[in-house]
Amino acid sequence: MNNLENIDHNNLPQHLAIIMDGNGRWAKQQGFLRAFGHENGTKSVKNTIETCAKMGIKYLTLYAFSTENWNRPKLEVEALMKILINSLKKELETLNRNNIKLNAIGNLDKLPKKAQKELFDVIEKTKNNNQLTLTLALSYGSREELVNAIKVISDKVKNNIISIDNIDDSIINEHLYTQNLPDVDLLIRTSGEHRISNFLLWQIAYAELYFTNVLWPDFKEEHLYEAIISYQKRERRFGKTSEQIK
């Protein structure tokens, strides 16, 4: 039986986030440079986005480039930026055809000017789409995001714009990159690593975590279905007891 038939479409994660890991190892296994893995990983990106849109998932966030990734070898960083620019150019038509809105979070000012231009161009040209919001985390680090939010909130408290007694979850949410996104329901990480790697630390407070040994370029529809089926078998209690949920 196709795994898709086992999925309850009334119980999909509203917000799915993915740490796309394993491109470099996949390339090395094949005897190629790491950039070859990143290039092949774009096929899994495209497939995953289209599958999520088709299934009815409303928000998909992909960890594309972290703040720490700037420390990688210069050639690899340049290759990643080139892949990003080319992918944005190539996929605009696909995004519009599937009614997908592009969004981006992170320290975007650090991206090369050409990458920024392509990114903001695609964001502008897809802004009215509403089937799926695709968020790319680029030059993103969750600790940096939280530090920035704390600085802005502190400044507003100092200037009597916000009362310290009014600071709560919603105030913090309003000052994060993800202010227009719901909390993450399901976080998937590929490649067998069991780490969060500074990704959406606030937003995954009650997310279900799913780890798979599949390397990202090998991640197909069937693997996404397996993750969602696993998610649907879990009891999400949000701190309550099973009896309270029932």
Question: 3-class DSSP state for residue 237?
Answer: coil
Query: Is 21 among the catalytic positions?
Result: yes
Token digits for 107?
Answer: 């320290």
Cα angle 198, 199, 203; round to 5: 125
Where do we find the tokens 């150019």?
Answer: 89
Q: Which of 3, 47, 69, 173 is catalytic?
A: 69
Q: How many CA atoms lie within 13 A of 106 on its CB side?
A: 27
Query: Is 155 among the catalytic positions?
Result: no
Q: Which of 2, 6, 11, 21 is catalytic?
A: 21
Cα angle 62, 66, 71; round to 5: 150
Close Cβ partners of 22 (under 8 Å, ≥ 6 residues apart): 37, 190, 191, 192, 214, 215, 216, 217, 218
Active site amino acids: 21, 69
